[in-house]
Amino acid sequence: MSEGFAPGHPRDPAVLAEHDQIGRMSQPRVLLTFGDTARRNYYGEGPLAALRAIAEVRLHTGDLPLTGDALVEAARGCQVIISDRQAAAPATLFRQLPGLAVFQRCAVDVRNVDLAAASGAGVLVMHARAGYANAVAEWVLGAMIDLARHLTDSVMAYRSGGRPPVRLGGELRGATLGVIGYGVIGQRLAAIGDCLGMRVLVADPFATVPSPFTAVSLEQMLPQADHLVCLAPARPENDNLMDARRFAAMKPGAFFINASRGELVDEAALLRALDSGHLGGCALDVGRAPDQMPSQVLTVHPRVIATPHVAGLTPAAVEFQSRETVDQLADLLAGRMPLGALNAEQATRLHLLLAD
C-alpha cells in the first residue's frame, strides 16, 4: 500500500481516530451498479457480504445497464459508486452528484470514465488490477487447441446429426506462438506456451522480454507465427492495429486470436483474410458489438470460433477483482490510499466519507 494521508487530511488516521472517539463515524453509502445477472456473474455473494460489512449498500435491480440519468438518480445520496464496465462516468455525473467522493471500477479499463472531470470535482477514481490473467491465458490455450484440432467443427457436425470428416490436426509443440503485448496475460500465456514446447515470440516495444522468449517487432512476428494472439492494450494508437496489410503479412494458414479489445482489429480486413483462405481460422472473445461482444458478421463465419466476452469469467478471477473493490474501500476508511487509485492528489471530496 502507498503512504497514508498527510496530517490534518480528513482521512489522516489521527483525524479518523478523533471522529471514532466522538462517535461521528458511520458507514458510507455505496451504489453497486451491477444488475441482477451481472452481479451474480461478476461480483458474487461473498464479496457482496464483505462489502455490506463495511458499507450501506444500494443494489441495482434488473438486468439493464445502469447508465446516464438512471445512474445519476440511483447514486443520489451515495458517497461511493462501485461500477461495472458498462456504467460510464462522464463529466456530467460528477457535476450532478456533489456528494460523491469515490468512483470505483471493478475492472481494469476506465476509458469510459472522465478522469479529468473527476479530478476537477475532487472525486477519487480507482480501478482493480487484472486478476483474470490466468483465466484469459487458459482460454487462449483452449482456443489454440480447438482451432488446430478442428474440435468445434466436429462437435457441430455431430450435434446436427451428421458425421464430421476425419482431418489431420496440428500440435502446439513445435509451433510458433506470437504474443502481441507482454502484460500480465501475455506473460502468463508465454509461460504456458513455453511449457508446451512452443517457440514463443513477443512483440511489445515497451516491455523487457526475458529468455527463453524472443523479442521481435510485430512486422517480424507476422510471417512466423502459427498462432498469433492479440493482447495489446486498448490505446488510441492501437486502433486497427491488425489491418489488411498485417493480415496479409501473416503466415498462410495461421490462426488469429483476439482476447484483448475489438477496436484493435479491422474486422472487414479480418473477414476478407478468412474468406480468402489466407488464415486457417480465428478465435474471438471480443469485438465491436456492444459491450465488447464479437460481431455477428464474424461469429457466423465457418472459420471462426467465438465466445461472448467470457475469457476472464471464472470464479477465481471474479473473486479477485470484486474483493479488491472491498479492500480498496476498507483502506480508505482506515486512512490509507489504496492500490488502484488513479488521481489521489486531486481527491478533495474524501472528507464526505465521514458522515455526521
Domain 13-131+314-353 carries which CATH code? 3.40.50.720
Give the torsion sign (CA, 102, 315, 59, 26).
negative
Reported as half-sphere exposure (CB side, CA atoms, 13 A), residue 202 has a value of 25
Give pLDDT, residue 74.
97
* Each residue's pLDDT expressed in tens, for the chain with a length of 356 residues: 344 444 444 444 443 443 343 333 479 999 999 999 999 999 989 999 999 999 999 999 999 999 999 999 999 999 999 999 889 999 999 999 999 999 999 988 898 999 999 999 999 999 998 889 999 999 999 999 999 999 999 999 999 999 999 999 999 999 999 999 999 999 999 999 999 999 999 999 999 999 999 999 999 999 999 999 999 998 889 999 999 999 999 999 999 999 999 999 999 999 999 999 999 999 999 999 988 999 999 999 999 999 999 999 999 998 999 999 999 999 999 999 999 999 999 999 999 986 54
Inter-residue contact 60 to 34 (CB < 8 Å) = yes
Q: 180: which residues sit within 8 A by CB, 6+ positions away? A: 186, 203, 204, 218, 221, 228, 229, 230, 231, 232, 241
Q: In CATH, what class is 133-306?
A: alpha beta
- 148's grid cell: 488446430
- Domain assignments of the chain as residue spans, ordered by start: 13-131+314-353, 133-306
Best CA proximity match to 281, nearest among 314, 313, 309, 258 = 258
DSSP 40-84: HHHT-HHHHHHHHTTSEEEEPPSSS---HHHHHHHHTT-SEEEE-
What radius of gyration, in Å, describes the C-alpha atoms of the chain? 23
CB-neighbour burial class of residue 145 (10 A; exposed 0-12, middle 13-18, buried 19+): middle
Give pLDDT, residue 265.
97
Best CA proximity match to 267, nearest among 217, 222, 230, 315 = 230
Side chain identity at residue 71, one-letter code: L
User: Rounded to an integer, what distance in angstroms lies between the CA atom of residue 301 and that of residue 50?
Assistant: 44
Inter-residue contact 202 to 190 (CB < 8 Å) = yes
User: Rounded to an integer, what distance in angstroms lies between the CA atom of residue 164 and that of residue 218?
Assistant: 36
- 153's grid cell: 467443427
DSSP 240-264: T-B-HHHHHHSPTT-EEEE-S-GGG
* Reported pTM: 0.83
E runs forming strands in 253-351: 255-258, 281-284, 304-306
Give pLDDT, residue 234.
86
Reported as half-sphere exposure (CB side, CA atoms, 13 A), residue 36 has a value of 3
Give pLDDT, residue 130.
85
Side chain identity at residue 318, one-letter code: V
User: Rounded to an integer, what distance in angstroms lies between the CA atom of residue 233 and that of residue 236?
Assistant: 9
User: Rounded to an integer, what distance in angstroms lies between the CA atom of residue 155 and that of residue 153?
Assistant: 6
- Phi then psi for residue 97, to 5 deg, are -120, 75
Give pLDDT, residue 4.
47
Give pLDDT, residue 57.
97
